[in-house]
Amino acid sequence: MKNLLLIVLLASPLCASEPVTHDYYVYVAAESDDTVDLVKFGPGGGEVVKRISVGIFPNEIEGPHGVKVAPGGRHWFVSIAHGMPYGSVFKYETGDDVAIADAQAGLFPATMDISPTTGFLFVVNFNLHGDHVPSNVSVIDTVSMTEIAQVTQGIMPHGSRVSPDGRFAYSTAMMSDELFEIDAMTLEVSRKLKLSTGDGSDHAGHMGVAKPTWVQPHPTKPLVYVAFNGAGQVVEVDREKWEVTRRFETKPGPYNLGISPDGKTLVVTEKTNHSTAFWDLESGTERASIPCTNKITHGVTISSDSRFAFVTVEGVGGDAGLVEVYDLESLERRAVIEVGKQASGIDFWKMEPASTQ
């Protein structure tokens, strides 16, 4: 018993979470409330600092879906999915959170990202309307807030993400099982990769439809990671070889992905399984899959210091949405914060030394 007690006492400090010394801020969209919440997490826990009403029709649910903070943090953008018939993207100042411009996009604009090289925003038009037909990616000049191009994609594009150098924009086509690469300079599709074969299996013989819902570039290596929502996998695609090089078997329904800026940790929201998984990218092993505190995990963003992951949980019915905060070292859930209903898109804004008050 004494030996066991000694082991526990020695091990405890190694498992304990380090104290939080900074305040971290994220923006969170709530699809069923037409709001975007500014959330702060710090030494005192988590809280909603501000709730911002978005959209232009107060008597309609317009469905804010994707949120993106611009490089440098001066502005943020939100995609408004529903329109007559086209959706839109609104531009806000950070801090005062006042809308300053908007642009029309396509049918059901969803996730989006900005090239740090050109400043262009790439927003996928998911298109939930009518038959399953190929859709497109709207390219928006974020200075003039003008749609300057629509780049044809597959069926139900999703998960728009730009490479770290800003040269290429990636997205997946959920219902045609394709990965697309757009040249951010020419605004044309430079490559596409079919992620499954016609018989319902992927190229390695794994059965099931891929239904890719997200693509996440590695911050320092020529790799992208794709969530196969329909097959319970995340695959690693080598951008130089343009082929799948590794597969990670996940719990059901991997949906959105995040990679820590230090390149060590892959975070996977497992939407069908109501959980969040954490993977060590060097070894390719799962560290943990943690059930969320309600149902339907959705989006994920990671702090700029690679310390915390912020995960949205939609909830069901009239449930409030949630933001769960995870320590990426200990994998401890450090906070659960109530936000608007059907919490979806989320993006990191900034971190700053915590107030001493």
Cβ atoms of 188 and 151 within 8 Å: the answer is yes
More confident residue, 204 or 344: 344
Predicted confidence (pLDDT) at residue 147 exceeds the cutoff of 50:
yes
Single-letter amino acid code for the residue at 242: W
Residues contacting 356, CB < 8 A, separation 6+: none
183's enclosing H/E stretch is: strand 178-183
Q: Average pLDDT, whole number, for the chain?
A: 91
For residues 307-330, one letter each, b for 16 or more C-beta atoms within 10 angstroms of the residue's C-beta and e for the rest, the string is bbbbbbbbbeeebbbbbbbbbbee
Please name which of 238, 134, 241 lies closest in space to residue 177, comparing C-alpha atoms: 134
Residue 83 confidence (pLDDT) = 81
* Higher pLDDT, residue 263 or 10: 263
Among the residue ranges 86-100, 195-209, 227-241, 270-284, the one predicted with the least confidence is 195-209
Distance between CA atoms of residues 326 and 276, nearest Å: 10
> According to the model, what pLDDT value does residue 10 have?
29
The yes-or-no verdict on residue 164 having pLDDT over 60 is yes
Model confidence at 272: pLDDT above 80: yes
**352 φ, ψ (degrees, to nearest 5):** -150, 155
Q: For residue 45, what are the β-bridge partners?
A: 42
Average pLDDT over residues 3-21: 48
Residue 11 has pLDDT above 80, yes or no: no
Structure tokens that stand for 353 in this block: 């030394």
Residue 206 has pLDDT above 90, yes or no: no
Beta bridge partners of 227: 214, 234
Map tokens 């439809």 to a residue.
Answer: 209
Residue 209 has pLDDT above 70, yes or no: yes
Q: 31: Cβ–Cβ under 8 A, 6 or more apart, which residues?
A: 61, 63, 64, 65, 81, 341, 342, 343, 344
Long-range CB pairs of 85-88 (<8 Å, 24+ gap) are: 85/129, 87/125
- At residue 199, does pLDDT exceed 90? no
Rounded distance, CA 329 to CA 302, Å? 13
Q: Give the list of residues 6+ apart from residue 86 with CB closer than 8 angstroms, or none.
A: 104, 105, 106, 107
64-122 residue pLDDT tens: 999 999 999 999 999 999 887 899 999 999 999 999 999 999 999 999 999 999 999 99
Contacts with 95 (C-beta within 8 Å, 6 or more apart), sequence order: none
3-state secondary structure at position 20: coil
Query: Could you tell me what percent of the chain has a pLDDT over 90?
Result: 85
